[in-house]
Amino acid sequence: MAYIGRQPTVGNFQICDAISVVNGQAAYTMQVGSVNVLPETANHMIVSLNGVIQKPNSSFTVSGSTITFSSNLATGDVIDFIQILGDVLDLGVPSDATVTESKIGSNAVTSAKMFSGFANGITMADQWRLTTAQTFGGTAATLDGSMEQIDTTGQGTIGSAMTQSSGVFTFPSTGIYLILVTIAFGSTSADSRYVEFKINFAQDGSNFTTVSRLNSSVKYISSTTYQNLVCQSYVDVTNASTARIKFSMESQNATIIAGSTSLNESNCISFIRLGDT
């Protein structure tokens, strides 16, 4: 930016705390707000003693936060003020609301400088599956066969796990969660005009509401034939001690979901915490 005349000096101007003279003492510690300060050099200071401006490096010298006068001071001497001019390249503390987005360098803000609940990446991800087959018929039933958290080599979870009892899952903490379910179901004896899968959520643990529903059909040929569904939803868990989620399925005729303890086969449920509620 161009200026008419001299460009204004930018620095970190500070007035040191008052210093009480000690009889026969020449060296004193400089502080601002009870915190030691370190001037760039004696030339970056204005010092007034007994109403007289002192000459840098002659009437006084500076080492770290210590100013030493050329001779011991005596009772009755008064250090009027010490003003530190700062480095001419030191901007000091920016004024409120003056640092804009464009002034912050790329990758300059790390997670250590973020708010306490922030971390790089997902902090919770958990996955479950059926271990034994479960058959569904004309009445809606909860997916509550034997279930396990994934535990095979090469698979893993992040953070605290979900817990479940009889197919009803409990959350480890509050937050916004992505619920993602993949289902492969098969007909063992007859066509099913409809096969319906639901994600059911209850903030209070008992009054479940369907938050996601998908429908399909499956045609029986001569042996078990399979169809797939992917069902998903975000849920807002505001109270982890009461919030619950479960999954239900029904079909026109008998359909089966297989299970496995070694891989995510016919059924896989993923819980991913995306952020704070």
Mean pLDDT of 32-44: 91
In a domain, 21, yes or no: yes
- Same domain membership, residue 128 and residue 22: no
Residue labelled with tokens 């995510």: 264
Give the predicted TM-score (pTM) of the model.
0.60
Q: 173-192 pLDDT, tens per residue?
A: 999 999 999 988 888 888 88
> Does 266 lie in the same domain as 152?
yes
Strands 141-142 and 244-251: antiparallel
Q: Structure tokens of 171?
A: 């959350």
Reading the block at residue 217, the tokens are: 């059909």
Q: If you average pLDDT over every residue of the chain, what do you get?
A: 88
Q: For residue 22, how many C-alpha atoms fall within 13 Å in the half-sphere facing its CB?
A: 6
pLDDT in tens, 13-32: 899 999 999 999 999 999 99
The total number of structural domains in the chain stands at 2
Structure confidence at residue 1 (pLDDT): 55
Q: Tell me, what's the pLDDT at 151?
A: 87
**Looking at residue 77, what is its pLDDT?**
96
Decide if pLDDT at 236 tops 70. yes
Judgement on whether residues 129 and 263 belong to the same structural domain of the protein: yes
pLDDT at 11 over 70: no
Whether residue 35 is predicted with pLDDT greater than 70 in this model: the reply is yes
Residue 3 pLDDT? 60
Neighbours of 195 (CB within 10 A): 23
Domain with 208, as residue range(s), is 124-275
Phi-psi region of 111 (alpha: psi -120 to 50; beta: other; left: phi over 0): alpha
| CATH assignment of the domain containing 180 | 2.60.120.40
What percentage of the chain exceeds 90 in pLDDT?
A: 56
Instruction: Show Cβ contacts of residue 102 under 8 Å, excluding neighbours closer than 6 positions.
Output: none
Kindly give, in sequence order, each residue whose CB lies less than 8 Å from that of residue 57, ignoring residues fewer than 6 positions away.
42, 43
CB 25 within 8 A of CB 72: yes
Closest CA to 260 of 133, 143, 136: 133
Does 207 lie in the same domain as 263? yes
**Are 168 and 242 part of one and the same domain?**
yes
Do 79 and 177 sit in the same domain of this protein?
no
